[in-house]
């Protein structure tokens, strides 16, 4: 209850003559949203406008006791207000209460009124009431929302502090108090600035003013806070302006996060990085010196590398020939002998044993064929004695038989290198290039051309398959087919030769091996 002349009644005139002419304004009263009531001193309805808003028929409540419709919990307060009004005529008083709607629900009402003497000389109450049910619901929802927000704020791991434009603290959560070791009773005399190290306070003021003025710049402030016991710790402070419904800034809200662990970790990381940098520099110096000495040694040995590689090529071929001879003269003979013995055994074996003998014969036949194929792979027929034409013809047959790749040959006469190492190396390079066609080109046809151009031997392997981006091979030393092509290029370089690669996606590929004939003869 309060003495308040603001509200639904406003500056309602209490002029006796105007009240006596109330009937003249009945149509006006019936068309406004507020409810006008005249009640007797004992609380009975004498006049009620807009009763339908309360769910009742016009005139239905006249003569009824108004406390029949006041919520029991509100009745004492309403009765006290009526008593005060009757005791002080023309003093406008207000009260909030609940009024029973015809459907049984309770409407929240805000009523203002005063008492006056009517023309009949009796004291009466003149009241203006306004339905505030929706406002009450909104207030309840707001309180519930604020309570949820408060519970969230009180349980977050960051400190929260709200202050007005003068910097006076209006709210802090428990986390803020625990961060600085403060009691809530101390907060009226403490500001956020007081909680920061002196050298950071001006920066906080500047950040706060920028937020209030909605200016850009100055993001979160990283600074040191001071606990009650004097210990310093690192903080991250983020400030935002608080704006009311009219758009006016009323204060600021600051979120304070303890970042001491992160700062310590960053400091430790920087220290460790510095240690690593120093150690790395020392190691680089040592490695540089070692590399210099190693480079000198490499330069000394590079000259002998070509000769050694060619010798290894010859040795590899001799070992291949030796293994081929062992397979042919040893393993294959044993397998053939076992097959003959099994045939002889089959003539005297029982009918029940025949299926197993047939299975063993098939296994031996397969082993003999695998041994013969391996022998040919190790030492291609005719490579050294019958010449390149014979060897390349055999290679084309192998590619067709094993991989379904038809190889067209175009080999000129008198182009075969005189040197054995060069002959073996270039043959193996062609074989590897054809394997690349099988694995990557996606085609069943390829062409091998061997020719003499001026003083150079030229071997070209081409296909019309998928192709690839040849420019990527300039830096590729680890993937396929890049590494294999790189290996071929390095081996051909031993004979002062070169491998040229021409290809693009969808346009096939062409690999051209060139080597000076003199180098191939003298190698």
Mean pLDDT of all residues in 185-196: 89
pLDDT over threshold 80, residue 51: no
| 468-481: pLDDT as tens digits | 887 776 544 444 44
Report yes or no: 72 and 93 within 8 Å, Cβ to Cβ.
no
For domain 381-522, the CATH architecture is 2-Layer Sandwich (3.30)
- What average pLDDT does range 410-435 have in this prediction? 80
Say whether pLDDT at 454 is over 80.
no
Q: Which burial class, exposed, middle or buried, applies to 522 when counting CB atoms under 10 A from its CB (0-12, 13-18, 19+)?
A: exposed
The confidence score (pLDDT) of residue 76 equals 94
Residues forming a β-bridge with 80: none
Q: What is the mean pLDDT of residues 330-336?
A: 63
Residue 2 has pLDDT above 50, yes or no: no
Least confident of 57-61, 332-336, 510-514: 332-336
C-alpha 151/C-alpha 143 separation (Å) is: 12
Asked whether residue 214 carries a pLDDT value surpassing 60, the answer given is yes
Rounded to an integer, what distance in angstroms lies between the CA atom of residue 496 and that of residue 493? 5
d(CA 19, CA 13): 8
What average pLDDT does this structure show over 408-431?
Answer: 80
> How many residues are recorded in the chain?
523
Judge whether residue 160 has pLDDT over 60: yes
Q: How confident is the model at residue 459 (pLDDT cuts 50, 70, 90)?
A: confident
pLDDT at 382: 56
514 within 8 A of 457, measured Cβ to Cβ: yes
- The predicted-structure confidence for 6-24, as pLDDT tens digits, reads as follows 444 444 444 445 445 545 5
- pLDDT for 373: 65
pLDDT > 90 in the chain, percent? 22
Residue 405 clears pLDDT 60, i.e. is over it? yes
Query: Which of 35-44, 109-118, 326-335 has the least mean pLDDT?
Result: 326-335
Note the pLDDT of residue 6.
Answer: 43
| Domains 16-138 and 156-258 alike in fold | yes
pLDDT digit string, tens, across residues 292-322: 888 888 777 755 665 665 566 556 655 665 5
Cβ-based burial of 392 (10 A; exposed 0-12, middle 13-18, buried ≥19) = buried
- How many C-beta atoms surround the C-beta of residue 104 within 10 A? 7
Question: What would the mean pLDDT of 28-42 be, rounded to a whole number?
Answer: 78
pLDDT digits over 358-385, tens only?
777 777 677 766 666 666 666 566 565 6
Is residue 225 scored above 90 in pLDDT? yes
Q: How far is CA 140 from the centre of its chain?
A: 41
The stretch 322-350 carries a mean pLDDT of: 64
Q: Give residue 167's pLDDT.
A: 86
Domain 156-258, CATH: 3.30.450.20
Q: What is the pLDDT of residue 14?
A: 45
User: Domain limits of the chain?
Assistant: 16-138, 156-258, 264-355, 381-522
Of 431, 423, 413, 425, give the one whose Cα is nearest residue 493: 425
pLDDT of 26 strictly over 80:
no
pLDDT of amino acid 339: 65
Sheet holding 232-243, edge to edge: 169-172, 159-164, 249-258, 232-243, 221-226
Residues 6+ apart with CB under 8 A from 19: 116, 118, 126
Residue 514 has pLDDT above 80, yes or no: yes
The CATH number given to 16-138 is 3.30.450.20
CB 250 within 8 A of CB 242: yes
User: Mean pLDDT score of the chain, rounded to an integer?
Assistant: 80
Chain centroid to Cα 11, Å, comes to 64
Phi and psi at residue 309, to the nearest 5°: -65, -40
Q: Which residues pair with 221 in a beta bridge?
A: 237
Decide if 160 contacts 256 (C-beta within 8 A).
yes
Predicted local distance difference test score (pLDDT) of residue 188: 85
Kindly give, in sequence order, each residue whose CB lies less than 8 Å from that of residue 414, ignoring residues fewer than 6 positions away.
452
Predicted confidence band of residue 96 (pLDDT cuts 50, 70, 90): very high
Give the model confidence (pLDDT) of 114-132 as tens digits: 999 887 888 999 999 998 8
Instruction: Please tell me the predicted confidence (pLDDT) of residue 307.
Output: 61
Q: Is the pLDDT of residue 140 over 60?
A: yes
* Window from 23-37, 148-162, 203-217, 220-234 with minimum mean pLDDT: 23-37
Q: Is the pLDDT of residue 324 over 70?
A: no
pLDDT at 394: 82
């Amino acid at each position: 209850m309060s003495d308040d002349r603001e509200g639904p009644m406003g500056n309602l005139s209490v002029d006796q003559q105007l009240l006596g002419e109330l009937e003249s304004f009945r149509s006006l009263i019936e068309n406004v949203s507020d409810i006008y009531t005249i009640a007797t001193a004992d609380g009975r309805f004498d006049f009620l406008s807009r009763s339908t808003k309360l769910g009742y028929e016009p005139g239905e409540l006249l003569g009824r006791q108004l406390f029949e419709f006041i919520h029991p919990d509100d009745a004492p307060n309403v009765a006290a207000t009526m008593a005060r009004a009757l005791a002080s005529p023309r003093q406008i008083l207000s009260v909030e209460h609940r009024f029973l709607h015809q459907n049984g629900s309770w409407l929240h009402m805000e009523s203002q009124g005063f008492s006056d003497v009517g023309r009949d000389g009796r004291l009466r109450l003149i009241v203006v009431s306004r339905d505030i049910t929706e406002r009450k619901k909104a207030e309840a929802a707001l309180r519930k929302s604020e309570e949820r927000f408060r519970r969230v704020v009180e349980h977050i791991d960051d400190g929260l502090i709200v202050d007005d434009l003068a910097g006076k603290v209006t709210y802090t959560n428990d986390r803020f108090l625990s961060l600085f070791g403060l009691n809530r009773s101390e907060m009226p005399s403490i500001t956020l600035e007081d909680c920061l190290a002196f050298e950071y306070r001006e920066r906080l003021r500047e950040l706060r003013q920028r937020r209030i003025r909605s200016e850009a710049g100055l993001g979160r402030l990283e600074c040191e806070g001071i606990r009650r016991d004097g210990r310093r710790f690192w903080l991250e402070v983020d400030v935002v302006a608080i704006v009311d419904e009219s758009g006016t800034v009323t204060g600021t809200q600051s979120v304070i996060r303890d970042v001491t662990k992160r700062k310590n970790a960053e400091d430790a990381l920087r220290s460790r990085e510095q240690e690593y940098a120093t150690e790395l520099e020392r190691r680089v110096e040592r490695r540089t010196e070692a590399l210099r000495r190693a480079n000198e040694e490499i330069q000394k040995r590079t000259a002998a590398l070509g000769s050694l590689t060619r010798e290894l090529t010859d040795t590899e071929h001799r070992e291949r020939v030796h293994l081929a001879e062992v397979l042919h003269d040893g393993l294959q003979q044993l397998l053939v002998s076992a097959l003959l013995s099994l045939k002889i055994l089959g003539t005297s074996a029982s009918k029940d044993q025949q299926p197993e003998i047939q299975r063993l014969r098939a296994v031996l036949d397969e082993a003999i064929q695998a041994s013969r194929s391996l022998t040919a792979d190790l030492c291609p027929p005719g490579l050294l004695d019958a010449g390149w034409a014979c060897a390349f013809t055999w290679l084309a047959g192998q590619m067709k038989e094993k991989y379904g790749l038809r190889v067209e040959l175009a080999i000129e006469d008198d182009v075969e290198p005189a040197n054995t190492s060069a002959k073996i190396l270039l043959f193996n390079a062609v074989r590897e290039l054809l394997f690349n066609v099988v694995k990557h080109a996606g085609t069943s046809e390829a062409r091998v051309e061997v020719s003499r151009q001026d003083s150079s031997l030229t071997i070209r392997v081409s296909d019309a398959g998928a192709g690839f981006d040849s420019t990527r091979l300039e830096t590729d030393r680890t993937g396929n087919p890049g590494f294999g092509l790189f290996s071929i290029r390095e081996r051909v370089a031993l004979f002062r030769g070169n491998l040229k690669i021409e290809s693009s996606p969808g346009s096939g590929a062409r690999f051209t091996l060139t080597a000076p004939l003199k180098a191939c003869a003298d190698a």
